[in-house]
């Protein structure tokens, strides 16, 4: 029989990313050179657009 190939998941190195706090429960990670406010606004817009549908 054929053996199923195992999935390999590689986590990003968090030391190379910058943490952005959205609220007291939510944190996202962006590139070090990325704009914090823009990342926060994009995240909130994406979540708000999911609620509307």
Give, for all 53 residues of the chain, the pLDDT tens digit: 778 888 999 999 999 999 999 999 999 999 999 999 999 999 999 999 987 76
The SS3 call for residue 16 is helix
With tokens 């429960």, the residue in question is: 25
The SS3 call for residue 15 is helix
Report pLDDT for 53. Answer: 65
Asked if 29 and 17 touch (Cβ cutoff 8 Å), the reply is: yes
Report pLDDT for 4. Answer: 87
* Dihedral over alpha carbons 11, 17, 22, 23 (to 10 degrees): 70
The SS3 call for residue 27 is strand
Report pLDDT for 52. Answer: 75
């Amino acid at each position: 029989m054929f053996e199923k190939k195992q999935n390999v998941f590689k986590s990003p190195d968090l030391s190379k990313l910058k943490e952005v706090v959205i609220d007291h429960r939510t944190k996202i990670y962006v590139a070090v050179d990325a704009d914090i406010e823009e990342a926060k606004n994009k995240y909130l817009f994406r979540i708000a657009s999911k609620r509307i549908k």
